[in-house]
Amino acid sequence: MPKPNRVKFQFISLFAILLITPLLSAQQDFSAVEIVPHHVAGSFYYLEGAGGNIGLSVGEDGVIMIDDQFAPLTDKIIAAISQLNNGEIRFLINTHVHGDHTGGNENMGKRGVLILARDEVRVRLSEQSPEEALPVLTYNDTITIHLNGEEVHAFSVSPAHTDGDSFIHFRTSDVIHTGDVFRTTAFPVIDTNNGGTLNGTLAALGRLIGVAGPDTKIVPGHGVVSNRMDVIGFRDMILDVKSRVEPMIAQGMSYDQVSAADPTSAYNARYGDSERFLRALYSELSGQP
């Protein structure tokens, strides 16, 4: 088949995927999903279900929640929280805009839960969501909630996974929820369509390494509880891949040539498919879209 047809076909496939993906997630069957609570330290728990890990501070003042997975799971999530604490869910902080972290916002907003996020998250969510799903309190730098004897400190980081990422540090329990900037299950996802960047990812991970102590528990957006050394390993992996790709770009290699050279080979067994990461990395380092 001549090349133009193949290119055209790939474009059509891409559009089909872009059109179908939101429909699939809207129609995804969540009936088999179980919400599993894990205690991490002090007042902090996280809930595993489908989508991003939900962080919780539970105590005598009620519940502070980080992210809320998908809308069809809200009842199950609330049931799981009520097993841990019979108080009110007071606040919900969104780590970033993605639907597997904010899908329950509308349900939570309608229940009167006060939603917080960075200014950028509200702007992006308002393009696709009803008023009830939008953060009511927004911040451009940091905000701290004082409940349950806990200091819950949300702080903005450089444009990394998206341009609206926050890390949430539960200072009394010494736990940090990182949203999707850090994950243990895959190569970094740099969502360039939502303002994510490679250099911002490196800066945000560097900030996390600076804020965390040796005993700090780090809860990723997806994956298992980790520590500062795990974040250093993840950051160093990105630096290693970057240092392999830079000279290839300096030699004028195309994305396909770089991809064929497999600069992530040492990490593929652990993190799986590297294409999306490599495309974002190549695009930012080469200045080519």
Q: Give exposure, 137-156, as e/b (b: 16+ Cβ within 10 Å).
A: ebbeeebebebbebebbbbb
Size of the site for Zn ion (CB under 5 A): 2
Name the segment binding Zn ion (CB under 5 A); options: 175-183, 211-219, 239-247, 257-265: 175-183
Contact status: 124 vs Zn ion (CB under 5 A): no
CB of 96 to Zn ion, least distance (A): 6
Name the segment binding Zn ion (CB under 5 A); options: 37-45, 67-75, 177-185, 238-246: 177-185
Name the segment binding Zn ion (CB under 5 A); options: 107-115, 136-144, 179-187, 268-276: 179-187
* Residue placing its CB nearer to Zn ion in the complex, 148 or 162: 162
* Residue placing its CB nearer to Zn ion in the complex, 100 or 246: 100
Among 61, 106, 180, 284, binds Zn ion (CB under 5 A): 180
* Residue placing its CB nearer to Zn ion in the complex, 76 or 222: 222
* Residue placing its CB nearer to Zn ion in the complex, 53 or 57: 53
* Residue placing its CB nearer to Zn ion in the complex, 76 or 98: 98
Nearest Cα residue to 171 out of 147, 146, 153: 153
Name the segment binding Zn ion (CB under 5 A); options: 97-105, 207-215, 236-244, 264-272: 97-105
Q: Are 217 and 182 in contact (CB under 8 A)?
A: no
* Residue placing its CB nearer to Zn ion in the complex, 51 or 62: 51
How deeply is 232 buried, as exposed, middle or buried, from its count of CB atoms within 10 A (0-12, 13-18, 19+)? middle
Contact status: 222 vs Zn ion (CB under 5 A): no
Q: Are 168 and 152 in contact (CB under 8 A)?
A: yes
Contact status: 98 vs Zn ion (CB under 5 A): yes
The residue whose two tokens read 């879209």 is: 289
CB of 161 to Zn ion, least distance (A): 6
Name the segment binding Zn ion (CB under 5 A); options: 42-50, 77-85, 114-122, 180-188: 180-188
CB of 61 to Zn ion, least distance (A): 29
* Residue placing its CB nearer to Zn ion in the complex, 185 or 254: 185
In the complex, the residues that contact Zn ion under the rule CB under 5 A are 98, 180
